Amino acid sequence: MSQWFLKGIKKGIKTEKNFDDKFKPDYPSRLEGKSGYNCPVNAIKNGEWDENKCIYCGKCDLKPTKDEKIYKINDKLPKMFKKSLYIYPLDSGTCGACNAEFNSIFYPQYDANRFNIFLSNTPRHADALLLMGVYTEKMHDVMIDALDAMPDPKIIIGFGSCALSGGILGSSINEKFNVEIAGCPPDPYTIISAILKYKGGVK
């Protein structure tokens, strides 16, 4: 195993100190401008754009700004979680893209662990439940069980258009979220930015 260790050391530090902005995707990101597009998910109504409903399909005239701050913080983080936050992801009915993007915040480029954001393997040890995907009947009880298993105080994070508004595929999970992270799927820049903002971090 020492060989692997040396090979790892030889590669040097790969984590980006300041995230490389040139790789921020156009979609999803904050959209601006005006559009008369007949949006299939009603994300544009009376000229107002709703980031939670938007599926960032690029079909309307609104322009992407690459601004990753497409999230809402609905309350204050309990003090005890300021130092570390353990998150348990729960897939209610995703296409798989939300799952992949959430996992990518732990990849070397982003290394969310350095911001004291951790993945929990069980709701029993989790501070936050991250819900993603559309509502599905059979996952409803699983979600309730996971919430019951979590110690108090518990945080619920709504993740992606499907969980927040139903997106284009179904209905939303319909929970009261402490944090709402928009995107279809939310990209790592948005996810880390949202969680750090909630934790009172730097991003």
| For other proteins, the closer CB: 63 or 82 | 63
Residue 90 burial (10 A CB sphere; 0-12, 13-18, 19+)? buried
Stretch that binds other proteins, among 78-86, 116-124, 174-182, 195-203 (CB under 8 A): 116-124
Stretch that binds other proteins, among 71-79, 100-108, 173-181, 190-198 (CB under 8 A): 100-108
Per rule CB under 8 A, is residue 190 in the interface with other proteins?
no
Q: x/- string (CB under 8 A) for other proteins, residues 143-162?
A: ---x----------------
CA distance from start to end of the chain? 36
How is residue 113 annotated by DSSP? G
For other proteins, the binding residue among 65, 81, 97, 196 (CB under 8 A) is 97
Residues 53-72 that bind other proteins (CB under 8 A): 55-59, 64
Count residues near other proteins (CB under 8 A).
Answer: 54
Cα–Cα distance for residue pair 154/129, rounded to 1 Å = 8
User: Which two structure tokens, joined as six digits, stand for 142?
Assistant: 């699983």
CA 23 to chain centre: 18
Q: What 3-state class would DSSP assign to 170?
A: coil
Nearest CA-CA partner of 126 in 150, 103, 102: 150
Per rule CB under 8 A, is residue 44 in the interface with other proteins?
no
Stretch that binds other proteins, among 46-54, 68-76, 98-106, 192-200 (CB under 8 A): 98-106
List of residues 6+ apart from 50 with CB closer than 8 A = 42, 43, 44, 165
| For other proteins, the closer CB: 77 or 195 | 195
Strands (E), 80-185: 85-93, 117-119, 128-133, 155-159, 179-181
Contact 150, 177 (CB under 8 A): no
For other proteins, the binding residue among 54, 112, 139, 155 (CB under 8 A) is 139
Contacting residues toward other proteins, per CB under 8 A: 4-5, 7-8, 11, 14, 23, 25-27, 40, 55-59, 64, 90-101, 103-104, 106-110, 120-122, 133-134, 136, 138-139, 142, 146, 167-170, 184-185, 187-188
